Amino acid sequence: MSLPDCSPDSVSFVSDAPLRPYNTFGIDVRARLLCRIEREDQLIGIAHDSRVTGLRRLVLGGGSNVVLTRDFDGLVLLIELHGKRIARQDGDAWYVEAAAGENWHDFVAWTLAVGLPGLENLALIPGTVGAAPIQNIGAYGLEMCERFASLRAIELATGEIAEFDAAACRFGYRDSYFKREGRDRFAVVSVTFKLPKAWTPHADYADVARELAVRGVAASPQAIFDAVVAVRRAKLPDPLVLGNAGSFFKNPVVDAAQFAALKAREPELVSYRQPDGRVKLAAGWLIDQCGWKGRAMGAAAVHERQALVLVNRGGATGAQVLALARAIQKDVFERFGVQLEAEPVCL
């Protein structure tokens, strides 16, 4: 058996690398150095590689949750780790492990193909498996953390491997440890999901329920998968056609008193009561009410069918996207007194 080559020479660095192919917004900036990571030991090697000592690191998976506002004067690590397997089972669940560079949607489709449902509500979310826990992706009544078992990550500075359970990941709404303190510190290399053997449908979300009814089908895993794909295709722009990073803003959460005052003024306000008594508001609705849907500022625009999604109509800079985002935040705040928070990481 030959040992993996961990010498520094086992990775090559590309200088002055264009990042446009690696971010779904399609923003045209460059990195001082870029390196493709195809094996975990390469990350370990880079931690001790004198050629890149002291350089800042940026880990990119599918690049579907970043706004790049300027050239990156550091080393971009492009995670291209592949592989997926059924790791184990216990009485309650199947445990499925996938490498961080696997395409998320293809992975979800594969779990269904091998007869292990549970992730179907998260079909067609752009990005990679490794990015899913960073964002705690969610859609149509399910958040990734509900199916999460553990992840393995490599500490960039030391090359040490660490295992994180759900508690250590500190998941929140579109949030985790890795989006805050852990940012730039770790690269996620694989994620293990726990798929319950007793499958129950999550088919109450209005858009999905409507789609199932139109198709006249029962809520099986495959039917939910197909319905979610159809709903997303109808509403959300394909990043390959129109650059975007999914929802640009989080749905804001307000306290009960602020909600009551707002609802009295705006009876149509779309809201979801939270278990803690606070209320989540539909940011898309707030933005739409301010007249932003379909409007543009330069090449950055608000999507015509979903006001929560900002798009690159061609050649937008990160600064233009952020200027548009700020203009929207200002209008929403002036009309509703609610501060919208960006969902993607702005660099």
Residues involved in catalysis: 174, 247, 343
Q: 156 and 43 in contact (C-beta within 8 Å)?
A: yes
**288 is a contact residue toward ligand EPU (CB under 6 A):** yes
Cβ nearer to ligand EPU, comparing 288 with 331: 288
**251 is a contact residue toward ligand EPU (CB under 6 A):** yes
Among 33-41, 149-157, 188-196, 245-253, the segment contacting ligand EPU (CB under 6 A)? 245-253
Q: 124 and 153 in contact (C-beta within 8 Å)?
A: no
Structure token pair of residue 234: 């109808």
> Which amino acid is residue 9, in one-letter code?
D
Least separation in angstroms between CB 65 and ligand EPU: 8
Structure token pair of residue 274: 């939270």
Least separation in angstroms between CB 209 and ligand EPU: 12
**117 is a contact residue toward ligand EPU (CB under 6 A):** no
Identified binder of ligand EPU from the candidate list 247, 312, 317, 320, rule CB under 6 A = 247
Site pattern 307..336 for ligand EPU (x: CB under 6 A): xx----------------------------
State the Cα angle at 243 between 79 and 113, rounded to 5°: 55
Q: 92 and 196 in contact (C-beta within 8 Å)?
A: yes
Among 192-200, 256-264, 302-310, 334-342, the segment contacting ligand EPU (CB under 6 A)? 302-310
Dmax over CA atoms of the chain, in Å, equals 71
Rg of the chain in Å (alpha carbons): 21
Query: DSSP letters of 255-321?
Result: -HHHHHHHHHH-TT--EEE-TTS-EEE-HHHHHHHTT-TT-EETTEEE-SS-TTEEEE-SS--HHHH
CA distances from 71 to 3, 91, 128, 300 (A): 37, 50, 23, 19
**244 is a contact residue toward ligand EPU (CB under 6 A):** no
**295 is a contact residue toward ligand EPU (CB under 6 A):** no
Least separation in angstroms between CB 342 and ligand EPU: 10
Cβ nearer to ligand EPU, comparing 13 with 292: 292
Among 70-78, 219-227, 258-266, 304-312, the segment contacting ligand EPU (CB under 6 A)? 304-312
**278 is a contact residue toward ligand EPU (CB under 6 A):** no
Give buried/exposed letters for 71-101 (b at 16+ CB in 10 A, else e): ebebbbbbbbbeebeeeeeeeebbbbbbbbb
Identified binder of ligand EPU from the candidate list 139, 254, 300, 325, rule CB under 6 A = 139
**292 is a contact residue toward ligand EPU (CB under 6 A):** no
Cβ nearer to ligand EPU, comparing 44 with 125: 125
**284 is a contact residue toward ligand EPU (CB under 6 A):** yes
Total residues at the site for ligand EPU (CB under 6 A)? 19
Cα–Cα distance for residue pair 250/329, rounded to 1 Å: 12
Cβ nearer to ligand EPU, comparing 45 with 127: 127
Cα–Cα distance for residue pair 11/6, rounded to 1 Å: 9
Residues in the chain: 347
Site for ligand EPU in 21-50 (CB under 6 A): none
Identified binder of ligand EPU from the candidate list 61, 237, 246, 318, rule CB under 6 A = 246
Least separation in angstroms between CB 247 and ligand EPU: 3
Phi, psi of 246 (to 5 degrees): 70, -155
Least separation in angstroms between CB 89 and ligand EPU: 29
Chain residues binding ligand EPU by CB under 6 A are 139-140, 174, 205, 207, 246-247, 250-251, 270, 282, 284-285, 288, 293, 306-308, 343
